[in-house]
Amino acid sequence: MRVLLVEDDLRVARVNREWLERDPDVHVVGTAVNCAQASELLRALTPDLVLLDVHLPDGSGAELLRGWRAAGQWVDVVMVTAAGDEATVRGSLAYGVLDYLIKPFGGSRLAEAVARHRLRARLTQDTFNQAALDRFRGVQASEEAALPKGVDVHTLERVAACLIQALPEPLSAEDVGTRVGLSRVTAWRYLEFLVKSGQAELAHLYGAAGRPAKLYRARE
């Protein structure tokens, strides 16, 4: 995964780069500090994902995004900004940002955004039916809308994204709980639901004393 950072605060850019490149499949291919440089690097480097700040020295990242879309640039964009006003948020969502992260945020939240991009990239196809389009947009189909009591859709998305980010390695309920910020029992409940709904698969780790440990992997 090739990532372009658009951030004029070099300290923030360095921290985000370190977080991103903890994933061995993620490579930051360039850092732009203003709008002009961002557009130039977007054309030259053709990244898979752009992390875009709003407040830049020569203009607005939100306006830059609008220009990219008008020019037919449909690269996945994650807004990474301190701007939390309604106009900026609504405008960014209207122009199709993959995610919107309001500073300050943690590395785990950034990893979730990367996992969402990875999921979308895996689901890309020439022609969509409704079910495939719903998965691409992260929308539940109506027949899947009724979740069991105690299963929250947003938490479910975070657990699913955690498994996708870890591919091809399987994770235990304790692993997922630690990464997502849930208790082991809560993580287990969500993982079991993902297995039951066909979004994850179950493996067992043998060789340890006692019962085999359950491990979970996103279904590819």
Six-digit token string for 45: 């480097």
User: Exposure pattern of 82-112 as b/e (b: 16+ CB <10 Å)?
Assistant: ebeeeebbebbeebebbbbbeeeeeeeebbb
Within 8 A by CB and 6+ apart from 22, the residues are: 107
Q: Considering the domain 147-218 in this protein, what is its CATH number?
A: 1.10.10.10
The architecture in CATH of the region 2-122 reads: 3-Layer(aba) Sandwich (3.40)
Reported pTM = 0.63
Position 178 confidence tier, pLDDT thresholds 50, 70, 90: very high
pLDDT of residue 214 exceeding 80:
yes
Classified as helix, coil or strand, 101 is: strand
Inter-residue contact 59 to 35 (CB < 8 Å)? yes
Domain boundaries, the chain: 2-122, 147-218
Omega before residue 148 within 30° of 0, cis: no
Q: What is the pLDDT of residues 51-76, one digit of tens each?
A: 999 999 999 999 999 999 999 999 99
